[in-house]
Structures are given as structure tokens and as C-alpha cells.
Amino acid sequence: MKTAGKLVVLGSINADHILNLESFPTPGETVTGNHYQVAFGGKGANQAVAAGRSGADIAFIACTGDDDTGARVRKQLTSDNIDVAPVSVVAGESTGVALIFVNGEGENVIGIHAGANAALSTERVAEQQTLIANASALLMQLESPVESVLAAARIAQQNQTTVALNPAPARQLSDELLALVDIITPNETEAEKLTGIAVSSDEDAARAARVLHEKGIRTVIITLGSRGVWASVNGEGKRVPGFKVKAIDTIAAGDTFNGALMTALLEEKPLDEAIRFAHAAAAIAVTRKGAQPSVPWRNEIDDFLAQQG
Ligand code: RIB
């Protein structure tokens, strides 16, 4: 892995419309919420913000619409220490939207309108070839067209840029794409989608990790919610527990974990330590409402870790 260099995140940008309610409506039911918020989100943008706020040198490849939301998102990302030069403004398109319900337990359900995110084409990826080739690592998710994710992974692999994939939202992926990935971070649902193995114990996680290793992925980190993660390098696996906090809203918890993890790995922290750093960032995020409003800055993560002794 090239280290201490630039991180490139490729992914989505959404405006999240978030309604907090006691319990999710069932089909045909209307439920009145207790809190409504519009906040910036999108898995790609959330992970970029988590990396930027936690201290990475980062550029973001993404698309916004040519609307007011897009202009405001780009301004916000810049103030989060992100190079937005590779963020394209797509004429005639609207910025992506996510409609999110959060229930009393802090769980969420999400519906997406891709909008400009669907315009992150292989041609746009090719325009960023030099950026990807010169980076130390490339972090992607699956809210962008999968052929573009594949194109970016190919450029990265040809240039010894580490490919990290957070395979969210869950979908099946080709062996060709998986073989280009160096670090993968599925949750239990995503791990099952990719491997066919339902993950409900450490043993299941170890088996799912083995399948992903066989596809050519060296580092597999399966996130297990409040149980932490299963971290497996070349088949040597163990569980790394997270921190116990009172979660009020888990939106972007995984995104925060991924962005902070990449910051720590690019600082050459050993994997265990990098996971602990990412756990701390995610633990702070779940105590706050919304996606990007919940993502902590570096000093907050360091303070949290210092308090753990
Ligand atoms: O991972 C959380 C994100 O998923 C939200 O911010 C929403 O935009 C969806 O993309």
C-alpha cells in the first residue's frame, strides 16, 4: 500500500430528508413524526466527510445537480477539508435525494432518488485517471453505477492504489470486481449478499470472510453492529469489539467507520488500532442525529479515545 498520500473517495451525494418517529409505518398507515431535518448525506459524501474531518488528505469524485442543493453541498464539503475539484455539476439534473425514517430505536429505512449520482459514468471516471493513479487509496461504495466502480478499481489496481470497497447498499458483485479489491467492509446483510452465508456469529463471519479471501480480497472487515467487527487478513481473523454508547441515530455510522478507517490506515496505524479509531468515530456519530451533522472531527475522536484509558 502506498501510504501517507492522498485518499480518493468515489461515490454519491444526497440531500437526506429525515423524519424521526416512534415506529415505522406499515403499508397503508400514516404516521406523524416527532422531528424533521434536511441534512447532507449520501454514502460517498459521508465517507469523504468522515475522512476529511478525521485528518485525511482527500479528493472526492462525485456528481451534483446544477441546483442550489448541489452548490451548498460543494461549499460544505470544501469546509470539511475535501478537494471538490473532481465533483462534476451535471446540467439539467437534480442532486440525489434520500428519504429516511428513523424509529425510536435509532434504526432507519431509506429510499433513494439517484438524480445526478447516476451520471457518474465511466467517462467521468476516465477523466480522473491521473488522480486515482497517483493516490495511495481509493474508497468506494455502491450508490454509484457499478460499471464506474469497476472502471475506477481497474485504474487503481494498475497503479498500485489500494482499493477499499464498502459494498453498500447490499447487492451481488462480479468476481472480476471483487478480485480488484484489497479491503472490503460489508455489514452482515452485505456479507450474506456477497457470499451466500448468513452472518449471525463469529464462526459465520469467519466463513464469509474466507469466501471473500478466495475471491482475491486480502483484508475483510465485516461490521457486526454493536458487536464490533470481524477483521480477517489472509484468513487470520478475530473480532474487534466497538465502544458501548447510547445510540439515538445510526445513519452514517458505517460511513463514519469507513472514512475514519482509511484516515488511520493512511497514517500507517496497525489494523487493530485503525479499527479502534474508526470504532470511536462511529460511536460518536451514533449519539448524534443525521448523516454529516453527526460525523466527528479529529479532536473529538482523539478525546473520546483518551477517555477510554
Ligand atoms: O449511509 C447513510 C446514507 O445512505 C444516507 O446519508 C443516505 O443519503 C443514504 O445514501
pTM for this one? Answer: 0.97
Residue 130 has pLDDT above 80, yes or no: yes
Does any domain span residue 106?
Answer: no
Does any domain span residue 65?
Answer: yes
Does any domain span residue 198?
Answer: yes
Does 249 show up as a binding residue in the annotation?
yes
Q: Of 76, 143, 256, which is best to mutate to test ligand 1, by the most ligand atoms within 8 angstroms of its C-beta? A: 143
User: Residue 227's CB: how many other CB atoms inside 10 A?
Assistant: 15
In ligand 1, the atom with minimum distance to the C-alpha of 292 is: 6
Q: What is the DSSP letter of 247?
A: -
Does any domain span residue 208?
Answer: yes
Nearest-CA residue for atom 6 of ligand 1: 41
pLDDT band at 106 (very low <50, low <70, confident <90, very high): confident
CATH number of the domain at 205, please. 3.40.1190.20
Nearest-CA residue for atom 2 of ligand 1: 252
Does 43 show up as a binding residue in the annotation?
yes
Question: Which pLDDT tens digit goes with each residue over 185-237?
Answer: 999 999 999 999 999 999 999 999 999 999 999 999 999 998 999 999 999 99
- What percent of the chain shows pLDDT beyond 90? 94
Does any domain span residue 71?
Answer: yes
Does any domain span residue 133?
Answer: yes
Whether ligand 1 lies within 6 angstroms of the CB of 255 is answered as yes
Dihedral sign for Cα atoms in the order 271, 275, 277, 278: positive
* Short-list 42, 124, 40, CA closest to 88: 124
| Spatial separation of the C-alpha atoms in residues 73 and 183, rounded to whole Å | 28
Q: 108 or 265: whose pLDDT is higher?
A: 265
Question: Which pLDDT tens digit goes with each residue over 249-278?
Answer: 889 999 999 999 999 999 999 999 999 999
Structural domain range at position 128: 7-13+42-94+115-307
Say how many domains are in the chain. 1
The residues carrying an active-site annotation are: 255
Does any domain span residue 108?
Answer: no
User: Residue 10 C-alpha to ligand 1 middle, in angstroms?
Assistant: 14
The predicted model gives 140-146 an average pLDDT of 98
Does 228 show up as a binding residue in the annotation?
yes
Backbone angles phi, psi at 291, to 5 degrees: -85, -90
Whether ligand 1 lies within 6 angstroms of the CB of 98 is answered as yes
Whether ligand 1 lies within 6 angstroms of the CB of 110 is answered as yes
Placement of cell 441546483 in the chain: 67
SS3 233: strand
Does any domain span residue 272?
Answer: yes
In ligand 1, the atom with minimum distance to the C-alpha of 291 is: 6
Residue 296 has pLDDT above 70, yes or no: yes
